[in-house]
Structure 1
Amino acid sequence: MTERKRIALLIDCDNVSHNSIEGVLEELAKYGMVNVRHAHGDWNNPSLSGWIDRLHPHAIRPIQQFAYSKGKNATDSAMIIDAMDLLYSNNIDAFALMTSDSDFTPLVLRILESGLPVYGFGEKKTPKPFVDACSPFIYTENLIPEEEDKPIATKTPSSKNRNTLRGDTSLVKLLRTAAEQTSDDDGWSHMSKVGHYISNNSSFSAINYGYKKLGDLIRATELFEIDMRSNGKAMYIKDVRN
């Protein structure tokens, strides 16, 4: 049995909404156990009141950081110090940074140099350098739960979805390259290998396109032949152009 990753989640409460924290924790549960949960911010600031209600239910420890001088973000510095302390402790296998601030890009690069993955979560306003540095990066707007009294829409393939996805040239290139680089001699690629290739080479996440799984997104593009093997448990894909 593969040992689950120990993940440290550091939250920049000044730059990200509390509304998606449940979705972030659910997403991280796919990768391992979030045994460190630190929320950084000036808790005297009324703007963080929404976060206060989320702390205890999700076992998140608030880290107080006073604003020592106006116009300076002391939270950033405290969060970076916290991350480096955790990195040097050797008790963490991966980091998750919840922020929309590109100032943390050097921190991501430093953690990556140590061989640890960094999962990024931020709002759609997050600058591209930070998005690209993380693997994967998920926009938090896509993780906000549906209203309980609102019917949950089922994602079904349609020509509109297909055409929109195919019109994203960077997405098409990424999927085709991943399939090509991981294909066997017969041209078929195992989905697990495709997923690993993509995660190792980009900040891509199917969630940002409205799909919970990479396989669902690939089906929607209709760019690949699909072959389900091992009694439907293993998915293989092949470029329809081949």
Structure 2
Amino acid sequence: MQNKNIAVFFDCENISATFVSSIFEELAKYGEVIIRQAFKDWGSSANKNWNQNLIEEFAIEPIQVFSSKSGKNSSDLRVQRAVIETINKNVVDTIALVSSDSDFRDLAMYIRANGFDSFGFGESKTPLSLRNAYSTFIQLPLKKSYEKNKDTEIIKFLKEAIKNTKGESEDCLVSQVRSYLKNKNSSYNPKNLGANTWG
């Protein structure tokens, strides 16, 4: 458990409301979520799962974004504005973006460059360029248990991490392996494999 102050921003046009509960459960392991905002055209019939009951249950502030006539995703710009305003207030340590939209790549990089932890939550369709822009990327839906994976890539990157962090006595700490993997690729996260820790 950590004691961070967290802001979370939901791109409702790009992510399912069914993930909300598990996202808050995950964020609770890192600290308190003190800013909770969700962006969409609340008068639209699209994405009906994002509704008043959900907003009230999780105490999320609904931010109205009117649909653009040009067909562009208006909520992206509004999310960016909200994140920059939050960074300028300097009341949080961590900013979480919930979206699979590649347009948030530069925003995720901007968050990190300003000294904040940037958490990304997105589905399997989230492009690698966005995943790697975060400090930590967690794939949705969250896996509840470890699944044996025949893909040798997992063993390969764990071996590489051990090789690059072991000391003269040929051993290394799991914490060093974790830091190495996180620094190399934000998708190298035990949560994405259904485990809580690398241990």
- TM-score in terms of structure 1 length: 0.75
Deviation at 1:24, TM superposition (A): 1.1
Matched with 1:116 is 116
Unaligned runs of 5+ in 2: none
* SS across alignment from 2:180: helix
- Aligned pair in 2 of structure 1 residues 65, 197: CA closer, same or farther (>3 Å)? same
Partner AA of 1:18 in structure 2: A
| CA-based RMSD | 2.1
- Aligned pair in 2 of structure 1 residues 138, 62: CA closer, same or farther (>3 Å)? same
Matches within 5 A, 1:152-171: 155=146, 161=148, 164-165=150-151, 167-168=152-153, 171=154
Looking at structure 2, the residues matched to 192 and 5 of structure 1 have their Cα atoms a distance apart, in angstroms, of: 19
Structure having greater relative contact order (Cα 8 Å, sep ≥ 6): 2
Looking at structure 2, the residues matched to 193 and 33 of structure 1 have their Cα atoms a distance apart, in angstroms, of: 26
- Aligned pair in 2 of structure 1 residues 48, 193: CA closer, same or farther (>3 Å)? same
Unaligned runs of 5+ in 1: 146-153, 216-242
Deviation at 1:3, TM superposition (A): 7.1
Deviation at 1:128, TM superposition (A): 1.6
* SS across alignment from 2:5: strand
Deviation at 1:141, TM superposition (A): 2.0
Aligned-residue sequence identity (percent) comes to 33
Matches within 5 A, 1:1-150: 4-52=3-51, 53-142=53-142
Partner AA of 1:47 in structure 2: A
Partner AA of 1:72 in structure 2: K
Q: Runs of 4 or more off by more than 6 Å in structure 1?
A: none
Count of residue pairs brought into register by the alignment: 197
Matched with 1:196 is 179
- TM-score in terms of structure 2 length: 0.89
**Comparing 61-70 and 8-17, the one that deviates more:** 61-70
1:122-178 Cα deviation digits (max 9, x unpaired)? 1111122111211321111235x7xxxxxxxx657xxxx26x14x22xx33432232
**Comparing 107-116 and 175-184, the one that deviates more:** 175-184
Partner AA of 1:213 in structure 2: T
Rg larger for = 1
More helix by share: 1
* SS across alignment from 2:141: helix
* SS across alignment from 2:46: helix
Matched with 1:233 is none
